[in-house]
Amino acid sequence: MAPTHASIMWMDGSLLPWSEGTTHVMSHVLHYGSGVFEGIKCYHTPDGPAIFRLEDHMQRMADSADSYGMQVPYTVDELVNASVEVVKANKLESGYIRPIVFYGYDSLGVHPNNCPIRVAIACFDWGAYLGDEGITKGVRITVSPWKKFHWSSFPTTAKGSGQYLNSLLAVIEARKRGFDEALLLNSEGNIAEGSGQNLFIVKDGRLYTNNKEASILMGITRDTIIKLSEDLDIPLEITDLIPDQLLTADEAFFTGTATEVTPIRELDGHTIGDGKPGEITLWLRAVYLDIVQGKRPEYQHWLTYV
Ligand SMILES: Cc1ncc(COP(=O)(O)O)c(C=O)c1O
């Protein structure tokens, strides 16, 4: 599960050895979490490595930076090209790409003043985030005692580095109690999301997921599943979800770039459906994996070939 980093990364406009991708310990980002980042996957396909929805990820990073008033010194297109360059330079066939925009060192006030905006893109060899067993058998999750922060406190649709302390607390607490993942409720008591995943429920053949008003990150995998549900004629409702709907669901699954489509088999000891990955979950998962691996010509526009 631990990712193996590649030997070359991209930083502030150039390719450089991994060991040179550094910043001073007094960098603003280390103290205040003042960065925005992305998690992107690159898959092996018959036509070589392909990065899934790269432009959408880079656009989300630009939007996240915008939410925090950070002026990124590169365009989305330049970041897309830089990502391709990094994967190519490392001869990576498949793996994970982590771009980050952050405030480096200049001063220590909370206001970033003249702290330089730095940009880095690294890539990794990385297998299943929730473990191979989690993907095939489903994961066991628990309602976290930590609530998801509300959109009135943070721009919840932004992927801000500091925002992840909330996820960190939740996932540490869940693992301590022997669960695979945490489910965070929002301040209204509705379902928000996992520490790094969006949630879908299946009930009576219909799909349900929540929306940005639930204080979630607007996942690109979530968006992919929403589009697939239209193409596959699976009815979908985007609405607030309460925990009881998960307890009484026929199926449930998490979505995320690293998580892909991962079935959920248990919530706090309560079996969901029959405790096995459900039919619709497995169908969507199979189509998703086909798409990212370049096996569905109609979705080629989501792939950037390296
Ligand atoms: C908090 C959170 N929610 C949802 C997601 C899923 O987003 P995506 O599908 O874009 O990876 C992630 C993963 O980045 C996340 O960190």
Tens digits of residue pLDDT in 15-68 = 999 999 999 999 999 999 999 999 999 999 999 999 999 999 999 999 999 999
pLDDT value of residue 75: 98
pLDDT value of residue 4: 86
Domain that holds residue 285: 132-292
Q: Ligand 1 atom closest to Cα of 159?
A: 16
CATH number of residue 191's parent domain: 3.20.10.10
Q: Once rounded to an integer, what is the mean pLDDT over residues 96-102? A: 98
* Structure-token pair, residue 8: 């070359």
Indicate the top mutation candidate among 148, 257, 259, 302 to test ligand 1's pocket, ranked by most ligand atoms within 8 A of CB: 257
Confidence label for 129 from pLDDT (cuts 50, 70 and 90):
low
The values of phi and psi at residue 247, to 5°, are -60, -35
CA of 154 to the centre of ligand 1 (A): 16
CA of 257 to the centre of ligand 1 (A): 7
Task: Please give, one letter per residue, the 3-state secondary structure of the chain.
Answer: CCCEECCEEEECCEEEEHHHCCCCCCCHHHHHCCEEECCEEEECCCCCCEEECHHHHHHHHHHHHHHCCCCCCCCHHHHHHHHHHHHHHCCCCCEEEEEEEEECCCCCCCCCCCCCEEEEEEEEECCCCCCHHHHHHCEEEEECCCCCCCCCCCCCCCCEHHHHHHHHHHHHHHHHCCCCEEEEECCCCCEEEECCCEEEEEECCEEEECCHHHCCCCCHHHHHHHHHHHHCCCCEEECCCCHHHHHCCCEEEEEECCCEEEEEEEECCEECCCCCCCHHHHHHHHHHHHHHCCCCHHHHHHEEEC
- The residue from 75, 97, 125 where one domain ends is 125
pLDDT value of residue 127: 59
d(CA 138, CA 200): 13
Q: Which residues line ligand 1 (CB under 6 A)?
A: 39, 167, 193, 196-198, 217, 219-222, 255-257
Ligand 1, atom 14: closest residue by C-alpha: 196
* 130 has pLDDT over 70: no
CA of 254 to the centre of ligand 1 (A): 10
Ligand 1, atom 8: closest residue by C-alpha: 219
* 92 has pLDDT over 70: yes
pLDDT value of residue 149: 98
pLDDT value of residue 136: 84
Question: Which of 156, 33, 155 has its CA nearest to residue 103?
Answer: 33
Average pLDDT, the chain: 96
Tens digits of residue pLDDT in 192-201 = 999 999 999 9
CATH number of residue 101's parent domain: 3.30.470.10
159 and 263 inside one domain:
yes
80 and 223 inside one domain:
no
**Of 41, 148, 159, 212, which one is the catalytic site residue?**
159
Ligand 1, atom 2: closest residue by C-alpha: 196
* 252 has pLDDT over 80: yes
CA atoms within a 13 Å half-sphere pointing along the CA-CB vector of 111: 2
CA of 107 to the centre of ligand 1 (A): 31
pLDDT value of residue 282: 96
* Structure-token pair, residue 44: 């092996």
- The residue from 83, 109, 125 where one domain ends is 125
Q: Once rounded to an integer, what is the mean pLDDT over residues 113-131? A: 85
Q: What is the pTM of this model?
A: 0.97
254, 264 Cβ separation under 8 angstroms: yes
Please give the share of the chain, as a percent, with pLDDT higher than 70. 98
* 1 has pLDDT over 60: no
pLDDT value of residue 128: 55
Confidence label for 126 from pLDDT (cuts 50, 70 and 90):
confident
Ligand 1, atom 4: closest residue by C-alpha: 197
159 and 63 inside one domain:
no
Q: Once rounded to an integer, what is the mean pLDDT over residues 223-248? A: 98
56, 296 Cβ separation under 8 angstroms: no
Confirm whether 303 is domain-assigned: no
Query: What's the total number of domains in the chain?
Result: 2
99 and 138 inside one domain:
no
d(CA 84, CA 19): 20
203 and 235 inside one domain:
yes
23 and 157 inside one domain:
no
pLDDT value of residue 37: 98
- The residue from 60, 95, 125 where one domain ends is 125
pLDDT value of residue 134: 78
Query: Which residues touch 235 (CB under 8 Å, ≥6 apart)?
Result: 205, 206, 207, 229
CA of 106 to the centre of ligand 1 (A): 31
Confirm whether 60 is domain-assigned: yes
213 and 138 inside one domain:
yes
pLDDT value of residue 58: 98
130, 277 Cβ separation under 8 angstroms: no
CA atoms within a 13 Å half-sphere pointing along the CA-CB vector of 196: 20
220 and 91 inside one domain:
no
- Tell me, rounded to whole angstroms, the distance of Cα 65 from its chain centroid: 16
164 and 186 inside one domain:
yes
15, 95 Cβ separation under 8 angstroms: no
Active site residue 295: no
